[in-house]
Amino acid sequence: MDEIDNNVDDQIFDLPAETTFVSDIYERIKSELSKVIIGQETAVSYIVVALFADGHILLEGVPGIAKTMIAKMITQTTKTDFSRIQFTPDLMPSDILGASVFNVKTSEFNFKKGPIFSNLILIDEINRAPAKTQAALFEVMEERQISIEGETFKFDYPFIVVATQNPIEHEGTYRLPEAQLDRFLMKIVLDYPSLDEEINILQRYKSDFDQTAMQSVMPVVSTEELLMCKQKVEEVHISDELIKYIASLVNATRNNTDLYLGASPRASLAILKTAKAMAALNGRNFVIPDDIRSVTIPVLNHRIILKPEREMEGYQPSDAIQDIIYKTEVPL
């Protein structure tokens, strides 16, 4: 029995080096998105990673750089139920979760489900709603269920929230609670397109002011295929040395002089899941250090808090994470 245990790591080499099912699904999604979206390839790959790792996604960027379009098109490529919620300052928790409505015919209260009861939920401008409304998402995002009036409603697979937000310094925005931010698997920061990309955008839509091209994006991935991708990601092998590497990266955030708050063990699990998904996306059934490094910033940048003096100097969370990645020894 001891001999079998000692050879477990060696047995991984008996597996095929390529596992193309997940990467084929990714290429299918990317092909559909390319009908509408120009550039943002890195952001799209991160979103698909989160989708395959069964995690919630937060997209941040200034208005007008296609955050909502990307989120909507991603959901449009899947054959699942979809709902969209526009967050506003006067939005109430019952507008999201649902409420009991009195039925005159039966003289009873019946629960009417809110828009959160779906598979893929697009929450637009999530940081425009106050804290009371934000708190309504805590249980549903973490446990995939909600408890209302003594009754618990469980959600079917998949249940993924894709949220967009404007930078916190923009007028009319509220800072999301740390507990809620921690429930997002990844925070993806979108930037302005390059000059060439912007020219291509203008060329594509110069005769299509109504953006009818968006209607050409078709659902190409079924719920069953999404579930299979999740299972394939779970099967991806990661060595003990790389597990220690992940733990070292996260632990370094708790001992960094630039940070007021480091990342929790939930962040370690998030890096593990997304690194495995990134490996599968690249057609491998094993994780390499590059997979871990590539997902560390989007997984950690919303889970750490800079010290006020560093923030005033213009230092960014991504700068601190990049420094930690550079200083942490990579296993050979």
> What are 223-238's pLDDT values in tens digits?
899 999 999 999 999 9
* Whether the Cβ atoms of residue 163 and residue 59 lie closer than 8 Å to each other: yes
Judged by average pLDDT, the poorest of 4-13, 73-82, 237-246, 249-258 is 4-13
pLDDT of residue 209: 63
pLDDT digits (tens, 9 = 90+) for 64-95: 888 888 888 888 898 888 899 999 888 998 89
Of the chain, the percentage scoring pLDDT greater than 70 comes to 92
- Confidence (pTM): 0.86
Q: Residues for the chain: how many in total?
A: 332
CATH, range 236-332 = 1.10.8.80
Phi first, then psi, for residue 150 (nearest 5°) are 80, 5
Into which CATH architecture does domain 21-204+214-229 fall?
3-Layer(aba) Sandwich (3.40)
Q: Which residue has the higher pLDDT, 137 or 245?
A: 245
pLDDT-based confidence at residue 6 (cuts at 50, 70, 90): very low
Alpha helix (H) ranges present in the chain? 2-6, 8-11, 20-33, 41-52, 67-76, 93-97, 131-135, 138-143, 178-181, 195-205, 223-235, 240-253, 265-281, 289-300, 308-312, 317-327
Bridge partners (DSSP) listed for residue 103: 108
Where in the chain are all domains bearing CATH 1.10.8.80?
A: 236-332
Q: How far apart are CA 168 and CA 44, in angstroms?
A: 23
Check residue 210 and give its pLDDT: 59
Residue 196: burial class (beta carbons within 10 Å; 0-12, 13-18, 19+): exposed
CB-based contact 256:298 (threshold 8 Å): no
Closest CA to 160 of 44, 66, 80: 80
252-294 pLDDT tens trace: 999 999 999 999 999 999 999 999 999 999 999 999 999 999 9
Between 77 and 208, where is the model more confident?
A: 77
> Phi and psi of 173, rounded to 5°?
-115, 150
